[in-house]
Structure 1
Amino acid sequence: MNFKKLLVLFCFLAAGLMPMAQASAQPAPDVLVREVTNEVLEIVRADRAIQAGDSQRVIALVHAKVLPHFDFRRMTMLAVGRDWRDASAEQQGQLTEAFRTLLVRTYSNALTQYRDQTIDFKPTRFGEADKRVQVRTEVRQSGAQPIGIDYMLEKSDAGWKVFDVIVAGVSLVTNYRGSFTQEIRSGGIDGLIKSLEVKNRSLEAEQKPS
C-alpha cells in the first residue's frame, strides 16, 4: 500500500483530535487521542451526509475538529526544512496557510471512506516534565494488515499540539520535505507557494458539489 493510501487511513483518525470540553486541567496526550477519537468516530458512523461523500460537510468538520489541535506552523517549518529560515515572515505565513489548506483539502475525503476500521491504542509512557510525546495507535480492518499511525505531540501553553504524524513508519512532514525541496530549488520560496496554491485550487474545484 502506498503512502497516499496510508494517509487516507490516518485522516479519519486525525479528525478525532477535536477540542475537548474545557476543564481545569489539560488532558494528557494519550487521553486526548483516545477519548476524542472514539467520540468522533461515533459521529462519523452516524452521519449519513459524511457517509454519502458530502465533501463540504467533511471540510467543515475537519476545520472544527482537527485544526485546533495541530501546530501547522511547526509542521510547515519541518516540511520546508532548512529553506524555512530563508523565507520572509510574509512568505512563512503564506506557506503555512497554503500547506494547512492542502492538508485539509487532501484529507477531507478520508472521513467519507471510513467503514469498519477499529483503532488499537498502544500504551504511552511519559513523565510530567516531558514536552514531547509519541502516541502510538494501530488501525485494524478486516482482510488487511494492521497499520501503525503514531502522533508526535508537543506541549504548549495552549495544551498538547500535533506537529507530525508517522504512518507505517513514514513521517508526514519528511514525506513532504522531498517535494518541497524540489519546488524550492526550481522556483524558490514563491515557486513553492504558487505550486501549493495551484494544487489547492484544483482540489477545491474537485470537491465542489456537482
Structure 2
Amino acid sequence: MKKPMKKKSKYLVPHLLLGSLWAFIVLGMALIQSVYAQDYSQQTGASSRTLGGEAKHWLETTVNDFLDIIDKNRADYDQNPLDLHQMLQEHALIFWDIPLMAKALAGKNWYQADDGLKKQLESEWKRTLIRYFNKAYPYYTNQRLKLENDIRCPAKNRCWLRMNTKIAADKGIDLDFYVKKKSKKGWLIIDIRVEGVSMMRHKQAETRMLLEKEGIPGVISALRQKNDAQHV
C-alpha cells in the first residue's frame, strides 16, 4: 500500500479549506505537537488490519449518522442557528478529543498552566470548532462520507483514514482523519489534514508567536475575540 502523499494544494482555495472545510471536514464534522509527529510506517499483521477496519467503520457510521440529522432538520437549522449550535454540541463535538487538541495547541506551555487556564483554552477551542462548522455549513449539499482503503495505524490505538471529496465538480480534495481509540470514550478525532496540511500544525504555527509573547492567556483571548465576533 502506498504511503499518503504530502502534496501542496493545487487549488486557490486555502482559506476555504483551512477555515471552512476543516470545520465541516467530516463532511459536516463534512464538515497533536510531538504526539502527532508519528512516523507513517504501516503496521503489519491481523491486529493492525482489524484496528483500521474498526476505525473506518466507526468514522463512516458516526459521520453519516450526523449528516442524517442535518438532512432531516435542515430547514430548522437554516432558520434557527441556535438549534444548529445545540446539535453540534450533542452530535459532533463529542467525537473530537478537545482536551488533547487544546494540549497540542498550547505545546510546552500546557505543562505550566493550572487547571482553570486549561479549561478556558479547551472551551475556546470547542467554540472555535463550532465557528468553523458554522462557516462551512452553507457549503454542505447532502454529501456522504466514503472512506478509501488507504488506512494507516502508526500506533496500537491510532489510525489515519483517507477520503476524497469534491468542493466543485472538477476539484477533488484529499482529506485525512487522525483518530484515536480511547478506552472509555471509544474513537475520537484528534486531527485532520486537507491536501496534506494538518489542521493542528497549521493552528500551532498560527499561534506560535502569540504563545511566546503572551502564553496561553494570549491564545485564549485571540480565540475568544474571533468566536465572540461570530456570536458562537
TM-score norm. by structure 2 comes to 0.73
- The aligned counterpart of 1:131 is 157
After superposition, the C-alpha distances for 1:85-140 in whole angstroms (9 at most, x for unaligned) are 2322221221111111111123223223212545431115467x821111111112
- The aligned counterpart of 1:5 is 16
More displaced 10-residue stretch of structure 1: 183-192 or 161-170? 183-192
- The aligned counterpart of 2:87 is 61
After superposition, the C-alpha distances for 1:10-41 in whole angstroms (9 at most, x for unaligned) are 43343459xxxxxxxxx922111112322333
Q: In the alignment, is the contact (CA less than 8 A) between 1:75 and 1:163 conserved in 2?
A: yes
Is 1:202 aligned to 2:220, yes or no?
Answer: no
Q: 1:37/1:176 Cα in 2 relative to 1: closer, same or farther (>3 Å)?
A: same
Q: In the alignment, is the contact (CA less than 8 A) between 2:23 and 2:129 conserved in 1?
A: no
Percent of aligned positions with the same letter in both sequences? 21
Q: 1:98/1:174 Cα in 2 relative to 1: closer, same or farther (>3 Å)?
A: same
- The aligned counterpart of 1:22 is none
Corresponding residue SS for 1:93 = helix
Q: In the alignment, is the contact (CA less than 8 A) between 2:64 and 2:144 conserved in 1?
A: no
- The aligned counterpart of 1:21 is none
Q: In the alignment, is the contact (CA less than 8 A) between 1:76 and 1:96 conserved in 2?
A: yes
C-alpha deviation, 1:185, in angstroms: 2.3
More displaced 10-residue stretch of structure 1: 183-192 or 92-101? 183-192
More displaced 10-residue stretch of structure 1: 165-174 or 76-85? 76-85
1:154 and 1:32 map into 2 onto residues whose CA distance is 11
Is 1:41 aligned to 2:67, yes or no?
Answer: yes
Structure 1 spans left out of the alignment, 5+ residues: 18-26
- The aligned counterpart of 2:48 is none
C-alpha deviation, 1:71, in angstroms: 0.6
Does 1 or 2 have the higher relative contact order (CA < 8 Å, sep 6+)? 2
Q: In the alignment, is the contact (CA less than 8 A) between 2:22 and 2:132 conserved in 1?
A: no
Q: In the alignment, is the contact (CA less than 8 A) between 2:177 and 2:191 conserved in 1?
A: yes
Corresponding residue SS for 1:115 = coil
Letter paired with 1:106:
Y
TM-score norm. by structure 1 comes to 0.79
Out of 195, 215, 225, the position equivalent to 1:188 is 215
Corresponding residue SS for 1:28 = helix
- The aligned counterpart of 2:206 is 179
Structure 2 spans left out of the alignment, 5+ residues: 1-11, 31-52
Give the count of matched residue pairs: 194
1:141 and 1:170 map into 2 onto residues whose CA distance is 17
Q: 1:148/1:186 Cα in 2 relative to 1: closer, same or farther (>3 Å)?
A: same
More displaced 10-residue stretch of structure 1: 2-11 or 193-202? 2-11
- The aligned counterpart of 2:108 is 82
1:38 and 1:189 map into 2 onto residues whose CA distance is 35
C-alpha deviation, 1:153, in angstroms: 0.9
Please report the RMSD computed on the Cα atoms of aligned residues, expressed in angstroms: 2.5
